[in-house]
Amino acid sequence: MEASVTEIEKIISQLPQEQLKQFRAWYEKFDAENWDEQIEEDVSNGKLDSFAASAIAAHKAGKSRKL
């Protein structure tokens, strides 16, 4: 049986500080890896092409600035 989000939240809220620290580190890595995979997939599928084209066009039109 799968745990519901509410059940998971309850379990997490009851973790001792050291285990909560370990969970945070694990989740941060897990979330970052998922984000990276999604970005790679979006790039491969061309989903970001229009954003890149728009940014390049704005730069060529002098609408960009140095950071």
Q: What is the pLDDT of residue 5?
A: 97
Using CA atoms of 3, 41, 53, 64 in order, give the dihedral in degrees to the nearest 10: 60
Structural domain includes residue 3: no
Range of the domain at 35: 16-60
Structural domain includes residue 9: no
Both tokens of 8, joined, read 């998971």
Structural domain includes residue 31: yes
Q: What is the pLDDT of residue 9?
A: 97
Distance CA 45, CA 30 (A): 23
Structural domain includes residue 4: no
Q: What is the pLDDT of residue 62?
A: 95
Structural domain includes residue 5: no
Could you report the per-residue pLDDT of 10-44, keeping only the tens digit for each? Answer: 999 999 999 999 999 999 999 999 999 999 999 99
Distance CA 57, CA 51 (A): 10
Structural domain includes residue 2: no
Q: How far is CA 4 from the centre of its chain?
A: 22
Q: What is the pLDDT of residue 52?
A: 94
Structural domain includes residue 32: yes
Q: What is the pLDDT of residue 19?
A: 98
Structural domain includes residue 10: no
How many folded domains does the chain comprise?
Answer: 1
